[in-house]
Structure 1
Amino acid sequence: MGTGRGARTRRGAAARALLTTLMTAALAAGCTASGGPIDDGRGPAAPSARERLPDGADVRPVLAVKIDNTPAARPHTGVDAADVVYVEQVEGGLSRLVAVYATRLPESVGPVRSARESDLELLRQFDRPVLAFSGAQGKLLPLIDRAPLEGVTPESSSGAYVRGTDRSAPHNLYLRPERLMADPPGGAALTTGFRFGRPPAGGEPKDALTVRYPAARTTFTWSDADDRWLVSLDGVPATTTEGERLAPATVVVQYVTVRRSGYRDFLGNNTPYTETVGSGEATVLRGGRAYEARWSRLSAEDGTSFTTGDGERMTFARGQVWVVYAQAA
């Protein structure tokens, strides 16, 4: 392998060629039609998340994947490898997942589904994340194009997606993460605001907790044997395609405002908008105990901090974190 200035020049040329190819594909597949919502202040368009810096160092974004969570989409693939899993309400009172990957990349993730307006605010806390999604409502696409993230769809990066044969569309679209990034970006990319460490004092013993949406429910049951919270979705144990139980180390039930947005699905159902900037109450589950906490996120660029009733920082157990957004009372 060449070294010195010549090698750096060749690497720079290759990186520029790759960036040009990616940008051309994105422009060809993107939606630039006028008539959508005005810019909501979430920031200017970002350069490609895979752009190279002048010295050849990589910009290291997290990978976020929008995942179907209807019964027809289960069991999920690759969700157990995520560092953080967000659960949010969508049309018809159903739920969807946003899985965020930083420390490891699974071979496959899915089923992949469409993005929502709330995702843009949620993901702004990360530095130019890659968002894998199957598409979006037509009027939302210009907003996604302007957001500081890199959207990756089957139209813009067809080689990164495959269709499974074990279930029907639209519940059979899967992402191959290694076709987007060679290596995971590492834990430093997780700018969530979460703090990990020994449990705080207090808390109440808790065996199980259920969060209900109008047409979906998520239950977490403590397992001493696994030292984890076992997930059930709509009353059915949630497993991977290999049969392993989904089991985060920490669960956060974050009470937020869920309001109507300016978008509807093809059936005319309004899309809920989940406000993740602000402050409010939360329940944190770790180690078989429940802790009442406060959450605060000052702006979309910030992560979310959690504090206990006495004002101390709430600490999470090391391992996967699930954050479930529930309507505040």
Structure 2
Amino acid sequence: WPLIEPLPSYGRGRELPGGRYMSLIHGNGLQDVVITGDNGTIDGQGSAWWDMWKKGTLPFTRPHLLELMNSSDVVVSNVVFQDSPFWNIHPVYCSNVVIRNVTVLAPHDSPNTDGIDPDSSSNVCIEDCYISTGDDLIAIKSGWDEYGMAYGRPSSHITIRRITGSSPFAGFAVGSETSGGVEHVLAEHLNFFSSGFGIHIKTNTGRGGFIRNVTVSDVTLDSVRYGLRIAGDVGGHPDDRYDRNALPVVDGLTIKNVQGQNIREAGSIKGIATSAFSRICLSNVKLNGGAAVRPWKCEAVSGAALDVQPSPCTELTSTSGMSFCTNSL
């Protein structure tokens, strides 16, 4: 596991200062890449790494199972990724990526074993996958605080569809590292069970960047703690040099056709007081629980809600929000 330089959009290892361990499968500057198999298994044997993380004995950031950097025309299909030391599949600074018919597995108590994390990448399609891990199943990212803003490469034009899985964290996530921006995302036909969050869109003061033009549609949730969370207070910082005045813009998010059962809390939408989240549209979102579902919590947000159960926040009643919501359906 040789050491390599930190990603320029992160400025340091994601877990610890300095470099990071190279992924088991690693490529940089490649074109026309195919990783496929007859559902054979790539086993990261991550338990030793998880133990070091839990004991605090890691000197550098753990390796991914697969990382491709600065690469294009990539296909990953019909492979099982199992027990990654850290994130499982990480295309970063890539374009034209297809990840299809992939299974990603790790125990629910394995730390930071994200399933698939497209990062500062464009024209990405992730479809027909089963993922069960210890962290977010799919998380779209684009760099960390001042380093991500300086690098300035967004994640854009990303399609995610027909994903099934379970996680103690989120089924579908954006962030929290979004300093290069995330836009033009469609996630649809998602099925999550026994999870912490169904949908989690997250950023923080100091991130800068933007999250805009994101649509999540046709989602089925079962035994999920929070149906939806959109938050402006999630995630740490790489160092003390981040700009506390760098506020993210969150605008134009549509969440529609979501059906949930055995939901504990509908969720929350909490923006930043000095950078309110705008044009948030909820439509046909019905989250039911065995007992009464705890109500929505909203702050520093505007938008609209149509046919939402339990009853939505009063903040989602603006005229401009209703116009956007009607036009986005």
Please tell me whether Structure 1 or Structure 2 has the larger radius of gyration of its CA atoms: 1
Give the structure with the higher percent strand.
2
The structure with more helix, counted as a fraction of residues: 1
Same fold per superposition (TM over 0.5): no
Report 1 or 2 for greater relative contact order, CA contacts < 8 Å, sequence distance ≥ 6.
1
TM-score by length of 2: 0.25
